[in-house]
Amino acid sequence: MADGTTCDEECFFDCGKKDPPQKAGPERIRTIIKSSKQRNDDLHISLSEQLDANAELQIPCHRTCVSTYTSKTHINRHNKRTSTSSLQSEPPTTKRRRSDIDPFDFKKHCLFCGTICCKPNIKNPSRWRKVSQVITADRCGQKTFKDLILEVCDKRQDIWSDEVRVRVHGATTDLHAADAQYHQDCRKQFMHSAHVDNLTKQNDDNDDKDNAFERVISAMNNEVTRLWNSVELIRLYQECEGSRLSRRGLISAVKEHFNERLLVLSSPGVASLIVFREQCALNIVDVQGDDDNIAAIAKSITSETVKPEKWVYETRLNHDNVNANVSSTLLNLLGELKMSRLSSSMVASIITSHLTKSPTLLQIAISNYLKRKMFVEELHHFGVTVNYDEFKRFKASAAAAAMSNNSPYCRCASGFRCTSDTVCW
């Protein structure tokens, strides 16, 4: 090392050690550059440029890191490991040029597939692909073999037919004179009527392809969250120069294309609505029916009606304590029917008593007013009052309450006390 001073910088060799590195001077840097060239790495490039710019250059590094890097033993081991890995690596692939491919020869290659026609294998004759020679030039008024091949090429209209057409036109004379040959399985696969008809049908289907319909499908796929209608789709179809399908036919074709993904809502005299099923929750709001609304109101009334833990028989009644345990939803419903407050309290009392299975203050008050057992029991049958036994139990509690209350009051015919804020029943 040039000196023993330490620094807070990281080691030049990025060793990851926590000990603070020391400064290496120009002589040590030249040794590192020499070792770098022997290792065939890139460290010497940047160091040489920095040393040329600054003759007093110093770099932070550990003594052990420099000794390991410049050691001849470690350099030889590194070079040996590098040479072994380079030998084991795969050689680079070279691209085949067109000039490397053998030119087509009628006497060697198959007229249809273009591969070499091999001679029969005596040891394994089953592996040999049978080869036939083109031996007939004149077919007695019929089309020549060359014309038949070109006719099939026109029907197929695929890449294979293009290659065969080039080979056939390459023959300056007839195929027989050119000593052309072919594999029998290749000829069958290329010229058999079943294969030709299948390709012809595919070509016709491609010609009949409705590009406007494909654009409509593409537009719907791009906007799956949109709520479409039949008028918009047929207008888009016509803007794309489509004329084969009517509006009803277009909707049927779209529904058949998307299958279960699409939901079509139709109604006489109204344009059909088209929406993707996965987007129904965003585009269509579920509206409750009348039965659902009635059930919701009944549930709300039941939940709002609370049975008190212990009934306290009041001797003074007003609208507040009479309707204390009655559902507010029930009172609002009766108010919408334009019923008076007394009638609403009567109906609400009957419904509340039915839900809580307990008597209400209004039922007790009416029973006290009637007093006679026959009247009380008859009205109790309709749910208007409590039964006669409950009324008798009430009389004792009402007397006790009257004795404990010293406030001024008046007594009505019903036997209840009334004040300025009390309603006489």
Q: Above 50 in pLDDT, residue 412?
A: no
How confident is the model over 185-195, as a mean pLDDT? 84
DSSP tag of 291: H
> Residue 218 is inside which H or E element, if any?
helix 211-222
DSSP tag of 388: H
Q: Which amino acid is at 125?
A: P
**pLDDT tens digits, 342-401:** 777 778 878 888 888 777 777 777 777 666 666 677 667 656 677 777 777 776 666 666
Query: Which residues in 228-308 belong to E strands, given as ranges?
Result: 228-229, 262-267, 270-276
Ranges 172-181, 363-372, 408-417, most confident: 172-181
Burial class (CB in 10 A: 0-12, 13-18, 19+), 271: middle
**pLDDT tens digits, 101-147:** 568 888 888 888 888 888 887 777 777 888 888 876 555 567 788 88
Within 10 angstroms of residue 16's Cβ, the number of other Cβ atoms is 7
Q: Above 50 in pLDDT, residue 84?
A: yes
Q: Above 70 in pLDDT, residue 273?
A: yes
d(CA 207, CA 187): 27
DSSP tag of 372: S
Joined tokens for residue 293: 């609304």
Helix axes 184-191, 159-169, angle to 10 degrees: 120
pLDDT reported for residue 375? 65
Q: Above 80 in pLDDT, residue 49?
A: yes
pTM over 0.75: no
Cross-strand partners of 264: 274
Structure-model confidence comparison of residues 13 and 396, the more confident one: 13
Q: Above 60 in pLDDT, residue 311?
A: no
**Whether the Cβ atoms of residue 424 and residue 414 lie closer than 8 Å to each other:** yes
d(CA 171, CA 265): 64
Residue partners of 61: CB distance under 8 A and separation at least 6:
11, 12, 13, 21, 22, 24
**Whether the Cβ atoms of residue 349 and residue 322 lie closer than 8 Å to each other:** yes
Strands 262-267 and 270-276, by their bridges, are antiparallel
The percentage of residues in the chain with a pLDDT greater than 70, rounded to a whole number, is 72
DSSP tag of 61: E
How confident is the model over 302-316, as a mean pLDDT? 66
Strands 59-61 and 22-24, by their bridges, are antiparallel
pLDDT reported for residue 400? 65
- 18-22, 90-94, 260-264, 324-328: which has the minimum mean pLDDT? 90-94
> Nearest Cα to 112, choosing from 195, 201, 202?
195
* pLDDT-based confidence at residue 319 (cuts at 50, 70, 90): low
Domains of the chain: 1-81 (no CATH), 125-206 (no CATH), 211-283 (1.10.10), 295-418 (no CATH)
